Structure 1
């Protein structure tokens, strides 16, 4: 992160903006502290335990958020520290909610830093979800491991290969998105920023009007395609280069995710054609873009979709819960959990009809273990419990019920925009009190780290040997 701060510093120097001093100073401070810690702990190799794993993941994300907030707080942007921390947390968790308005007049260095936070958060999320959480039995994602032709117990080479493949896929897709955006008329700077925030399914834009600023259906179509690609399991792209390993449809969550996107987008387009008399082709493009943006938890908007119709609002509200695929940069409940929950419910109904029947639960070709079912069940309980608790606390802080509920939902699901006049797609979180921003920052961390990873640290028994 210290190195990354030098990139917006160069942009500010080119623009003759004094904020470059803030980025260079923050980079020097962070780099110096990191170097001192590295030297002080050189040669030490602590025993890795699950307790350390939970603590490490949560602590790294909080420390990274504090680091990311420094340039935002000390720069020319007028925000409180609660606002700067919220903006940094929203970036690194790829949520996309913002307390900053007037983006078109903002220094380009700050715009670049916001996009970099989201891009770095995106690759961090992929690594955490695929490499760390399964070993902690926290994410319920053991089904999405990387297959290896090496049948020995040499774990390190396999992990190194997977990590390199994930980074290569992430960088390659970002570059492709950048090239497509520039070819469609975006400036070099806009294309670079939007490519980073598209592939991280994060949604920060360089303009207040978001993607609506460009007023080009071709850009909306391109963004839709890359948002979908970013919401698929990144292991798919690694497997694509391995012989006899590329089977896109083997993972049921991919089919479910794509079908949901198709059905909901078409439904919104039909309602707009009937209710608003919008030409179907235009309605389908904008409806698909905005729906995919919400369901992949990217958070871009081409217009205020809450003005379309009550039917459209209802569909967007449903999409806010769903999310993309496990093993991607998308947030939300995720398609794999929806599939598993459906299979569990269907099996329960079958047992009611035939009490003595033996019902086997299979996810694709793999049998679903009791631990996976337990993990998914716990996630749903914690997700909706946290949603209710967050809503109650935000109403205590003075927010109306719609803002409180949608604000908590968008934070837990890492979606970005909420609903209502205050934090809807046409607004932002700038008017919320600092107490609400702190709570929502915590909710974003909870949602991004799969809830259990953070909440387990609150149990005293965890700290008792």
Structure 2
């Protein structure tokens, strides 16, 4: 393994961070040089120096080994999270090292869980930086999960290769870099489009852009303590709801739909399941809220549809106090929290693709028991899924659930009640953000012991790198 090659490629990610630090610094200047100016400016200079140095002194390499690629992916995330702490630490306020690390990791992993008790006290430029870290992280997920790892062969564990293989067969895009271009086009286009619509709906331009950065990345960092509810703008809530749902879809399928390819969102079994599950779940939740809380049909549908879309896409925005909701509503939302969106999106969680595959595997197994001499493959739509993909996906689901339950025990050892421990573990592992109990929509993670906060950031990274991407580093010396 060549350390200089790894350093060179990681430095590119640092330079991307430097660009957004400069943009946030510009926001500060436009806001009459608010208190975030010098922390962001100094962070920009440090990050630029760290990112530019390897590009000048380390030659470019195209032949990157599989081992080096996993190291680049994992350490790019970790180092970006470390660099992302700088503006928070330099600003001070309620940021300790633990809270700054938690906020940074939560941003880059698009989790959206916050340790802050008073977001409104942050300068506008720092709040914009928080939103930017999510957009950087969301783009990084698309890049690494759908382009870097699949291009390395059969060793990656992401289920996204199911959708990618069907697209490539139908010439939706030409090769890996064609796929990357199409995905980034969708990512950027959706962000720009939502920003324009939110601005037209009455939001200030900076707020409109920040909420769009958080929505399309399925991050969930808001610009105020009261989150989306604080906007007091029904049109903006509807726009955010629509784009949350869209952002949970496979970006390649969205691109194919607009290019009028043979595959599209409307022909994908996975996408149909995702959209139908949101519709059914939202109707169930809305009906339950009206029955058990008598909140009024308008509020029941408004809160029910928004919260299901928020958790089903792993965005984590909220427009209501879910701690007041009945137990059935909490359990329903936890199910969506664990499932989340589609592979090929910026969403976290187990992924709809694996859930669909799990269901199809069960029905296929029943048919095999009924017809023991027949050869019945597992399919998603018309695509036959290889046995190795089926087994790795089912193993991922089991591993995912075990980690959440183990984490629940660990957090319980530090005094958290069961609903808070379990929901915090599921929310951070699924990169969702708010949980229930003391980490619910009206609370935050800042009251947890420091160890618990560091532990949950580990879960955020595990969830964002789909477990194996991070665990591979722990076993790097066993590679031959």
Q: Deviations over 1:155-207 (max 9, x none)?
A: 9x733332222222111111111111122222222211111111111110011
Which of 160, 164, 170 aligns to 1:141? It is 160
1:319 equivalent in alignment to 2:336: yes
Partner of 1:237: 254
Partner of 2:84: 68
Query: Counterparts of 2:309 and 2:268 in 1: how far apart (Å)?
Result: 20
1:254 equivalent in alignment to 2:276: no
Which of 399, 411, 432 aligns to 2:428? It is 411
SS in 2 for 1:250: coil
Q: CA deviation at 1:246?
A: 4.8
Which of 50, 71, 76 aligns to 1:33? It is 50
Q: CA deviation at 1:115?
A: 0.5
1:42 equivalent in alignment to 2:45: no
Q: CA deviation at 1:130?
A: 1.2
Query: Counterparts of 2:33 and 2:472 in 1: how far apart (Å)?
Result: 47
Query: Counterparts of 1:243 and 1:308 in 2: how far apart (Å)?
Result: 43
Query: Counterparts of 2:99 and 2:57 in 1: how far apart (Å)?
Result: 33
Within 5 A, what are the aligned runs for 1:287-366? 287-366=304-383
Query: Counterparts of 2:104 and 2:275 in 1: how far apart (Å)?
Result: 31
Q: CA deviation at 1:90?
A: 0.6
Q: Deviations over 1:1-46 (max 9, x none)?
A: 1121112212223333243111111111111121111122124x27
Q: CA deviation at 1:329?
A: 0.9
SS in 2 for 1:340: helix
1:207 equivalent in alignment to 2:233: no
Q: Deviations over 1:363-411 (max 9, x none)?
A: 1221010111121022112201211222222223333332222111111
Q: Which moved more, 1:128-137 or 1:141-150?
A: 141-150
Partner of 2:302: 285
Indicate conservation of the 8 Å contact 2:219/2:315, yes or no: yes
Which of 199, 214, 227 aligns to 2:244? It is 227
Indicate conservation of the 8 Å contact 1:306/1:312, yes or no: no
1:431–1:183 distance in 2 versus 1, CA, 3 Å: same
Indicate conservation of the 8 Å contact 1:212/1:302, yes or no: yes
1:160–1:360 distance in 2 versus 1, CA, 3 Å: closer
1:32–1:372 distance in 2 versus 1, CA, 3 Å: same
Query: Counterparts of 1:237 and 1:132 in 2: how far apart (Å)?
Result: 20
Q: CA deviation at 1:426?
A: 0.7
Which of 70, 80, 85 aligns to 2:96? It is 80
Partner of 2:131: 115
Query: Counterparts of 2:144 and 2:63 in 1: how far apart (Å)?
Result: 19
Indicate conservation of the 8 Å contact 2:342/2:351, yes or no: yes
Query: Counterparts of 2:117 and 2:312 in 1: how far apart (Å)?
Result: 24
1:389–1:311 distance in 2 versus 1, CA, 3 Å: closer
Q: Which moved more, 1:21-30 or 1:215-224?
A: 215-224
SS in 1 for 2:92: coil
| Pairwise CA RMSD | 2.0
Indicate conservation of the 8 Å contact 2:170/2:262, yes or no: no
Q: CA deviation at 1:60?
A: 0.7
Q: Which moved more, 1:58-67 or 1:16-25?
A: 16-25
Q: Deviations over 1:276-318 (max 9, x none)?
A: 2233233112210011101111111101123132221221122
Query: Counterparts of 2:463 and 2:335 in 1: how far apart (Å)?
Result: 17
Which of 111, 116, 128 aligns to 1:100? It is 116
Q: What is the TM-score normalised by the length of structure 1?
A: 0.94
Indicate conservation of the 8 Å contact 1:200/1:230, yes or no: yes
Q: Which moved more, 1:451-460 or 1:4-13?
A: 451-460
SS in 2 for 1:4: helix
Consecutive unaligned residues of structure 1, counting only runs of 5 or more, are: none
Query: Counterparts of 1:189 and 1:48 in 2: how far apart (Å)?
Result: 40
Runs of 4+ in 1 over 4 A off after TM superposition: 148-151
Q: CA deviation at 1:257?
A: 0.5
Query: Counterparts of 2:161 and 2:135 in 1: how far apart (Å)?
Result: 25
Indicate conservation of the 8 Å contact 1:130/1:144, yes or no: no
Indicate conservation of the 8 Å contact 2:427/2:434, yes or no: yes
1:194 equivalent in alignment to 2:229: no
Q: CA deviation at 1:432?
A: 1.1
1:131 equivalent in alignment to 2:147: yes
Q: CA deviation at 1:243?
A: 5.0
